[in-house]
């Protein structure tokens, strides 16, 4: 709890407590003209309550009880209670001890006061310490999450660029006239990588644009037929998401699949107000084993989905009839 909120909470507690005790007090018991003296005595009593309460709250409980120094806590608490009882005896009885410190009618009151303020101050201290501990845990988890995301991004960017440059290099070796066009498309994809590393979200419309650029760049080299089915019932400019959640599945299809003029890659992207459905299916060779068709990109995006959209996605990758299938559902709400 922030300090200003804690201050307000304590202020409200004491205001309600003082108002209630003043309302419950039977002032008719006292003679007329005694009210001013009673108010003075009452607020001296409140001052002793505050000292007793906050000595335990700020000093004894944090330094001894919460540090598991139980013997010292008991000893200092008994001293604190003793001083509190003496102060009450002096204030309530005209600054002198009467009838064994307290009149008979006062004994239940002092027992209640001591127990109430001691338990409440201890409970407040324990609760706020627990709350601080939970906040530190949450902050640490968030820091670890952000650190892991940065690591995953640092792993993904060079991997993606290396594969893209490898395509361009292959085109240049064969003196392919499309090399200059591929370099132009690389520039577009470099902007995409920059957006990815910046941590900013992009529109789904932009994500689709970069998917198409990546497909076009790879088709320059492989001439693979692409069946890209896109359907949307919403404006893709209004949906924002982290970059490079879909592209690794296409990269996997081109890099690990059989890519030539006869083996088609099927891609389906379906968008509605509540979810995005992304499906990729590509041919793999007979010699390809199930555990080798998924590259580093899919492992990377799976972990990023878990960090960014935990409980709001499903991802299935499997081999079926010499085809590798990636099936991703991403919930938007």
CB atoms within 10 A of CB 316: 10
**If you compute the radius of gyration of the chain from its CA atoms, what whole number of angstroms results?**
36
Nearest of 18, 51, 46 to residue 121 by alpha carbon? 51
**Higher local confidence (pLDDT), 293 or 178:** 178
Who's near 174: CB < 8 A, 6+ residues apart? none
> Confidence band (pLDDT; 50, 70, 90) for 218?
confident
Cα separation, 3 vs 71, in Å, equals 30
Q: Looking at the DSSP assignment, which residues form a beta bridge with residue 167? A: none
Cα separation of 276 and 278, whole Å? 6
**Mapping DSSP to helix (H, G, I), strand (E, B) and coil, where does residue 83 land?**
helix
Select the more confidently predicted residue: 38 or 284: 284
Instruction: Look at the block and give the residue holding tokens 């008979």.
Output: 104
Distance CA 293, CA 317 (A): 10
Burial class (CB in 10 A: 0-12, 13-18, 19+), 321: exposed
Residue-level pLDDT at 292:
47
**Higher pLDDT pick, 300 / 198:** 300
pLDDT at 290: 45
Asked whether the predicted pLDDT for residue 81 surpasses 70, the reply is: yes
- Tell me what pLDDT residue 136 has: 78
Cβ atoms of residues 95 and 48 within 8 Å: no
pLDDT tens, residue by residue, 260-305:
888 889 999 999 999 999 999 999 876 554 444 455 678 888 988 9
Quick one: what percent of the chain has pLDDT higher than 90? Answer: 26
Give the tens place of pLDDT for each residue, 42-77.
778 888 889 999 999 999 999 999 888 999 999 999
1-30 residue pLDDT tens: 667 777 888 888 888 877 777 666 665 665
Number of residues that this document lists for the chain: 333
Q: Please count the other Cβ atoms lying within 10 Å of the Cβ belonging to residue 130.
A: 11
Lowest mean pLDDT segment, chosen from 147-161, 185-199, 258-272? 147-161
Element housing 302 (H / E): helix 296-308
Q: Tell me what percent of the residues of the chain surpass a pLDDT of 70.
A: 72
> Where do the domains of the chain lie, and which CATH numbers do they carry?
3-137 (no CATH), 176-331 (3.30.565.10)
Query: Which H or E element spans position 240?
Result: strand 240-241
The contacts of residue 328 (CB under 8 Å, 6+ apart) are: 245, 246, 249, 276, 277, 278, 279, 305, 313, 314, 315, 316
Model pLDDT, residue 259: 80
In this prediction, residue 87 has a pLDDT band, given cuts at 50, 70 and 90, of confident
Residue with tokens 């879909």: 246
Rounded CA gap, 255 and 222, in Å?
A: 10
**For residue 160, with 0-12 CB atoms within 10 Å meaning exposed, 13-18 middle and 19 or more buried, which class applies?**
buried
Euclidean distance between the first and the last CA atom of the chain, given in angstroms as a whole number:
29
């Amino acid at each position: 709890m922030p300090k200003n909120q804690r201050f307000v909470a304590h202020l409200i507690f004491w205001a309600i407590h003082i108002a209630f005790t003043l309302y419950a007090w039977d002032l008719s018991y006292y003679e007329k003209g005694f009210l001013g003296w009673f108010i003075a005595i009452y607020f001296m009593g409140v001052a002793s309550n505050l000292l007793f309460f906050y000595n335990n709250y700020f000093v004894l409980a944090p330094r001894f009880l919460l540090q598991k120094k139980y013997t010292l806590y008991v000893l200092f608490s008994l001293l604190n209670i003793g001083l509190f009882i003496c102060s009450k005896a002096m204030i309530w009885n005209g600054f002198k001890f009467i009838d064994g410190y307290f009149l008979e009618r006062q004994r239940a009151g002092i027992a209640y006061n001591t127990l109430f303020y001691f338990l409440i101050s201890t409970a407040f201290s324990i609760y706020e310490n627990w709350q601080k501990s939970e906040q530190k845990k949450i902050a640490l988890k968030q820091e670890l999450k952000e650190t892991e995301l940065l690591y995953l991004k640092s792993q993904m960017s060079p991997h993606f660029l290396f594969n893209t440059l490898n395509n361009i290099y292959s085109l240049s070796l064969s003196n392919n006239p499309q090399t200059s066009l591929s370099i132009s498309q690389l520039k577009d994809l470099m902007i995409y990588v920059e957006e990815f590393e910046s941590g900013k979200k992009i529109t789904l419309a932009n994500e689709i644009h970069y998917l198409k650029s990546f497909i076009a760049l790879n088709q320059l080299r492989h001439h693979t037929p692409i069946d890209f089915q896109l359907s949307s019932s919403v404006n893709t400019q209004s949906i924002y998401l982290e970059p490079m959640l879909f592209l690794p599945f296409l990269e996997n299809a081109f890099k690990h699949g059989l890519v030539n003029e006869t083996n088609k890659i099927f891609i389906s992207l379906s968008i509605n107000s509540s979810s995005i459905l992304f499906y990729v299916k590509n041919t793999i060779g007979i010699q390809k084993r199930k555990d080798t068709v998924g590259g580093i990109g899919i492992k990377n995006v799976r972990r990023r989905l878990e960090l960014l959209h935990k409980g709001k996605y499903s991802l299935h990758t499997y081999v079926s009839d010499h085809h590798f299938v990636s099936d991703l559902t991403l919930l938007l709400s």
